[in-house]
Amino acid sequence: MNQTAPFDKRELRNAFGTFMTGVTVVTAADDEGNPVGFTANSFTSVSLEPPLVLVCLANTSSNYETLTRSKGFAINVLAEGQKDVSNTFARPVEDRFAAVAWKKGPHGSPVFGDVSAWFDCSMHKTVDAGDHVILIGRVEAFDTSTHPGLGYARGAYVTAAAEAEALANGANLLVSALIARDGDVLLVDDGNGGLTLPEVNVGKEGATAALQKLIQSCGIEAEPGFIYSVYEDGAREHQHISFLCQTAAGDPARGAFCDLGASTLMDIADPAMRIMLERYEAERRMGNFGVYFGNQKSGTVRSVMSGS
């Protein structure tokens, strides 16, 4: 459901923290009301109070005059299956908007269908910054979905499925689903009186298929998000990949959604998973996620940030 101002801060923080990565299309309307847009990955949140976001636009862009004079703009965070939309809005195509289903957002800028999220903004301020201009928008309305976002790194698109298969490399691989909803996480019985994330050993079908079956076994609608943690678990002699996924309303077929308070975390028997969930809770509160690489004892957290 679309969210319009005033916002629930927790809902907006969740939207910022989950989707502030990957490939976006920035859209606006020109003086005649015609839609304009371009592909960008320099999008980030600025503030929750007031709710501000920013995007950078090159001074040489053909959209420069339209965007800097506009009363607002929208950020469309593309889903994994929208590579063609990204490519279309990155090239000089005659009618870019013919390639995507769109409508006017609540504040008037074009918002796309089937995206991970969109944010419809009024123009708060423009700031000259060298060979770019920074467009700072105030979020007037937004919407999110469970579709995982489309990433871009080192000249290539990155998707959760492709990353999982690349990381597997024939290893003894365990996949877990960190399924979040409104700040809570789905936890299931670990078989020994404790709690754990839903997890499964990956067989010949591959990590992507295993993750999809794992989510289906939980009995809720959720889609694979980005890889949240990758580590070698020496205690159980396997490589562990945990995906951060989002889900909408609905009761799970097994387990329950739990807040990650101290009493809940004490019931997580696996120390590596407990540490991961402690990090998740801290990052969720800040609205700024990173990806962990290492083993069950030590490693590094690399921030998930959009490029320029």
pLDDT tens digits, 39-91: 887 778 888 888 899 998 889 888 899 999 999 999 999 988 888 998 899 88
Q: Give 129-180 pLDDT, tens digit per residue.
A: 888 899 999 999 998 887 777 766 545 555 655 555 555 554 578 888 999 8
Helices of type H across the chain: 9-19, 64-69, 83-90, 160-168, 207-217, 262-266, 271-286
**Sorting pLDDT into bands at 50, 70 and 90, what band is 101?**
very high
- Same-domain pairing of 98 and 188: no
Q: Is residue 308 part of a domain?
A: no
β-strand 227-233 against 238-247: which pairing, if any? antiparallel
Final residue of a structural domain among 91, 117, 152: 152
Structural domain count, the chain: 2
Pairwise CA distance, residues 119 & 53, whole Å: 9
- Same-domain pairing of 80 and 136: yes
Q: What is the DSSP letter of 1?
A: -
Pairwise CA distance, residues 26 & 103, whole Å: 14
Final residue of a structural domain among 152, 180, 202: 152
Final residue of a structural domain among 122, 152, 182: 152
This prediction has a pTM of 0.58
Residue 83's domain comprises 3-152
- Same-domain pairing of 213 and 290: yes
- Same-domain pairing of 24 and 103: yes
Of 14-18, 94-98, 183-187, 289-293, the poorest mean pLDDT is in 289-293
Predicted pLDDT of residue 37: 93
